[in-house]
Chains A and B, each alone.
Chain A
């Protein structure tokens, strides 16, 4: 019976014409002004109508956002080498093997009360539409493995809204409203959960000038964390005491920012320290756990130090760097780079290289170096990493 109705509606709708300049007009107006009517009278009538009918403008956030369907990861993932040695920060995607620079940030210092300065990050996100990067207004971003979606924090330095953005369309797939402010987000290795670290105040405060500049020594304002299950549509909060920032006998962090990360297999979370071991593990519910056996990490990150085939492991920072065999500890290669960051494949590593003969270690940039150190490809332009305004990359599996 409704066939006629459906067909008629479909058919009739086809007669609508799309006028030009709709976006321009909307951007100019942004509030309602009816055409061809006295604005005041119309507004009064509209107000009465709202009163009479109870019709109100819908809330801007369309809810519920119980479960976000995440786009699938590309399979097989690309592994080509992509470089941009002309622009700093990069204008084109930087990638090699299984890893890519999915985002980067630039820091600036802002004076605040008490002679202190605040570190502000300006984040840029990989944009598949242009093959480059796009600056964002978000307080923090993290791209999920596969480079299809990003988690973002909306807010000034800290925020209570975490969103999931489709990188390809730049549309928000959904938002999570949180009770506590969060200062960082991190995707689980399988790209389905977001770990958001909560703070009662902004942690990145500095004091002193020039070479003497150092973090303000106080107790870290970290208060806990959320585990957001994106397809499941849940956000569970857990309290977690901060680790001692600067004073203590046990692990100290040397930082008020104590962002949590995921273990390699995504079953545990970790809190960073500057001592050895460089992290403490917890269950996602916040219970202390021993470090998972056999897992080796690139210091300060959630990236594996062990090669994809499990045979080799990245050595410490400092030129020349070393790569050793997991089982025997035997050195299999030395590289003329400052730091080894991530495995591109079983034979090549994304590393921090040094300009020229490394007269100045702060004049450095990303390179791809082979395990034996014989081959090196410049991935990004060298830049002065010491000054303010240097860009800092985030590496993510493609």
Chain B
């Protein structure tokens, strides 16, 4: 990487790190520190292969998805991530939209990394199933069944969400 490459890399990071951090934050279930680790890892790998990478953002995101799933499987921290303000479901009016969102966050944080990744790809990145499969390196069938199971799991964790998460695709 020469000076010009480094300059372009820095410009890329400046421009796209907010988007990468938002994605990292979701993939790690709202864990700021884990999200920083994840983005950092992706950027380091991107820097190493900078000149060979045709689409830097897509490449960085792909590393993040796959890395997060690997880390999650390898680590012991499979429990619920502590939220800045933990939702206390029983004390809240579950029909209120903002309350529902907090409940849903908490439920999302309790999914497996793979389940969460599939939901983030489908509903945050808005990718069609075929592209989700490509990014995660699995079949479309696996994407479908994982998405189905993920939504079912969310309903199980937070029954008050059942009505809002009825249909699966």
Contact = CB atoms under 8 A, between A and B. Distances in A.
Interface of A: 1-19, 22-23, 25-27, 29-32, 34-35, 42, 45-46, 48-50, 52-58, 60-63, 65, 134-137, 154, 163, 170-175
A18 B59 contact: no
B132 interface: no
B60 to A, nearest CB: 10
Nearest to B18: A18
B69 interface: yes
Given A13-B23, A15-B30, A23-B10, A49 B62 contact: no
Given A5-B119, A61-B52, A136-B4, A12 B25 contact: yes
B58 to A, nearest CB: 5
B62 A23 contact: no
Interface size band for B: 35 or more
A371 to B, nearest CB: 40
B128 to A, nearest CB: 14
Contacts of B104: 4-5, 8
Interface in B16-72: 17-18, 21-26, 30, 32-33, 35-37, 39-41, 43-49, 51-56, 58-59, 62-63, 66, 69-71
Contacts of B74: 42, 45-46, 48-49
Contact of B63 (A58, A134, A135, A174): A58
Interface of B: 1-2, 4, 6, 8-14, 17-18, 21-26, 30, 32-33, 35-37, 39-41, 43-49, 51-56, 58-59, 62-63, 66, 69-71, 73-75, 84, 97, 100-101, 104-105, 108, 119-120, 123-124, 137, 161, 164-167, 169
A32 to B, nearest CB: 5
Contacts, number: 174
Contacts of A175: 52, 54
B163 to A, nearest CB: 9
B107 to A, nearest CB: 9
B145 to A, nearest CB: 16
6 smallest CB-CB distances across A and B, nearest first, come from A26-B43, A16-B25, A13-B22, A23-B13, A49-B74, A60-B49
Chain A interface mostly helix, strand, loop or mixed?
Answer: mixed
Contacts of A15: 25, 30, 84
B54 A172 contact: yes
A13 B25 contact: yes
Given A4-B165, A62-B62, A135-B4, A9 B120 contact: yes
Contacts of A57: 45, 63, 66
A175 B53 CA distance: 9
B158 to A, nearest CB: 11
Contacts of B10: 23
Contacts of A30: 44-45, 47-48
A12 B37 contact: no
Contacts of B52: 60-61, 175
Contact of B54 (A5, A42, A49, A61): A61
11 contacts: A16-B24, A18-B17, A25-B40, A26-B9, A26-B40, A26-B43, A29-B40, A32-B45, A60-B52, A62-B54, A154-B51
Contact of B124 (A10, A29, A60): A10
Contact of B137 (A19, A56, A137): A56
Given A2-B165, A8-B105, 13 more contacts: A7-B101, A9-B26, A13-B124, A15-B30, A18-B18, A18-B21, A29-B40, A30-B48, A32-B45, A53-B73, A61-B53, A62-B54, A172-B54
Given A2-B123, A30-B44, A32-B41, A17 B21 contact: yes
A53 B37 contact: no
A176 to B, nearest CB: 10
Contacts of B35: 16
Contact of B161 (A4, A10, A65, A134): A4
B124 A134 contact: no
Q: Which of A10, A52, A55, A56 has the most CB of B within 10 A?
A: A55
A29 B36 CA distance: 14
Nearest to B102: A8
Contacts of A3: 164
A16 B21 CA distance: 6
Given A1-B167, A62-B58, A53 B124 contact: no
Nearest to B138: A54
A49 B73 contact: yes
Contacts of B47: 26-27, 30
A135 B4 CA distance: 8
Contact of B59 (A17, A54, A58, A135): A58
A56 B49 CA distance: 15
Given A1-B164, A10-B124, A171-B8, A26 B54 contact: no
A171 B15 CA distance: 13
Given A13-B26, A58-B62, A5 B18 contact: no
A58 B62 CA distance: 7
